[in-house]
Structures are given as structure tokens and as C-alpha cells.
Amino acid sequence: MKQEVKGNLLSPLPVVLVGAMVNGRPNYLVIGYISPFNFGKHIFFSLYKKRYTRTGIHQNKTFSVNIPSEDLLAETNICGSKSGRDIDKGSLFKTFYGELRTAPMIQQCPITMECEVAEVLDYDPNEGIIGKVVKSYADPEYLTEGKLDWRKVHPIIWATGGDFNYYRLGERIEQEMDNAD
């Protein structure tokens, strides 16, 4: 018989750093609950309304999603524990910009995406941010035959339903795929 466990058990999920231009400079915050939908064309995450980065997302109607690897754990912890009101989190990384020009992305992150705000859902004291993925980027060293290889990325994984700790991605399970039409 199953035992009831409190909380949402749809996990683990990758830790991401959401970036936005706030008062003319890049700022990043940690998001643990993020989800692609619409076959990856959109992204959804929840954001506490008092977050500093929220200001930039609303001002510019853009943001970035950056997936850090394990070697960025210290910087990720700073972004998750300090406010951009108090420190310049943009100085922790090399920032680059894509097509949108107002969605700062982190060069050191293996995977980055620039997004336009498609919709904001109000459910006080939080907001749901829905973004349209404009472009996605990955360093060539993380690709195998032109496709993203998560075994090379080493993302930080967060267990949202359970002990709320960081983990490593496990090994790949090989699976035969039938490519019949």
C-alpha cells in the first residue's frame, strides 16, 4: 500500500538561473520549479512578487533561462541566497545577449534560452510567468552528433518533492527507438 507524502512529487527538476535586465544591469535568480510546455515552445515558472528580478521581467517583457552545470554551484547558491538589490549578481558571470537584447544570458552555463513574456498569471503573493522560447543555445562541447547530451552537461538537479536537496543526473538508459513512419 502506498504512503501519503506531502508536497508535489513531480521531480527532480533542473535548477535554472533566470536572468533579466534590472535598472540597466543583468541580474539572475534561482528557480527550482520550471516547466516546458507546448512541446518546448513555452516555459512556465512561478515567481514571488517581491523578487528583484521581477522588475526587469516586467519592464522589458523578456528573460533568459540558464541551466548551470555542477561547477557553477557556488555562484548558483549566491544567486539563490542574495538579492540583486544588495549585490551585483551579474558580476558573477560573463553575460551575452542574443536576438532580444534585453535577456541577459550566462556564457558559463552549458544551456541558455532567451524568452519573451507571453503571459503573466496573478495568484497573490506570486506570479506565473509564461515565456515564449525565442532561441536556445548550447556550447558545442555539450552536443553529441548535433544534439544536446545531458551526460556532458552535468546539470544541478533539485529534488522538489522530498528532501529539497541538490543531486546529480544519473546515467542514461539506452532505448531502441523505432523510426517507422
Question: Over the stretch 44-103, which tens digit does the pLDDT of each residue have?
Answer: 999 999 999 999 999 999 999 999 999 999 999 999 999 999 999 999 999 999 999 999
107 vs 150 pLDDT, higher one: 107
Quick one: 83 exposed, middle or buried, by C-beta within 10 A (0-12, 13-18, 19+)? Answer: middle
CB 16 within 8 A of CB 66: yes
**Where do the structural domains in the chain lie, given as residue ranges?**
13-167
DSSP secondary structure string for all residues of 135-147: EEEE-GGGEETTE
Which CATH class name applies to 13-167?
mainly beta
CB 65 within 8 A of CB 18: yes
Q: What are phi and psi of 171, to 5 degrees?
A: -80, 160
Interval 100-131: pLDDT, tens: 999 999 999 999 999 999 999 999 999 999 99
The overall pTM is greater than 0.85 = yes
